[in-house]
Amino acid sequence: MLHEAFVQLVLEFTKDEGRAEHCWLEIERHYAAKGRHYHNLNHLENIFERLTEVHNMLLDFKTLLFSICFHDIIYNPRRSDNEAKSAKFAKSILTSIGYPSEKTERCLEQILATRHHQTSPNSDTNYFTDADLSILGAPDEEYQKYCQQIRKEYAIYPDFFYKPGRRKVIDHFLAMEKIFKTLEFRNRFEAQARRNLLREREVLQR
């Protein structure tokens, strides 16, 4: 579904079908890279599904579609500038197909917003970051699988290094007055997300 939607959107700005497919293959290549246990195409499909469910609340679904596809295209567990590099990658692609500059800038803002997941004055950005975090409110079994996938992505780090870092991430979310910024996502995921995070934190302390 995401592949088809992406290609059709690119073709609105360039009639070169080969170019559109090449753009998608670049996305596919990055997200299928070795070590991508969670931040892969399944993650993108999940965000796409979550946002499709609230489509009538969104102002610019086209820009959000690009944000979905590019927000984790650069992902290196050793680095802290993945969002910035992903935004740079997105800008190069969007510029090359002639996507409007103001919409491109909004896409870059949305990608950068996934670093801290703070409330944005732009409602689409809040829906996007909420969809990105929706895994936190998943049922127990699915959340446990997510935890395992994240641990595999950070397999280069031993427990004595990984656990404090992961607890810091968890504490960041638990300290938020509201993890989810939109009413729809908050009603659906907030309570379960806090239960999941607290439970994971307890496990990490063992």
> Which pLDDT tens digit goes with each residue over 159-178?
999 999 999 999 999 999 99
State how far the Cα of 184 lies from the Cα of 25, in Å rounded to an integer.
33
Class of domain 2-204: mainly alpha
Q: Flag whether the pTM goes above 0.95.
A: yes
Is 99 within 8 Å of 13 (Cβ atoms)?
yes
Read off the tokens for 206.
Answer: 């063992």
Residue 4 CA to residue 17 CA, distance in Å, equals 12
**What are the φ/ψ torsions at residue 41 (nearest 5 degrees)?**
-65, -30
pLDDT digits (tens, 9 = 90+) for 88-142: 999 999 999 999 999 999 999 999 999 999 999 999 999 999 999 999 999 999 9
| Nearest C-alpha neighbor of 127 from the set 23, 13, 51 | 51
Tell me which residue of 26, 16, 20, 15 sits closest to 4, measured CA to CA: 20
pLDDT in tens, 10-41: 999 998 999 999 999 999 999 999 999 999 99
pLDDT tens sequence across 32-75: 999 999 999 999 999 999 999 999 999 999 999 999 999 999 99
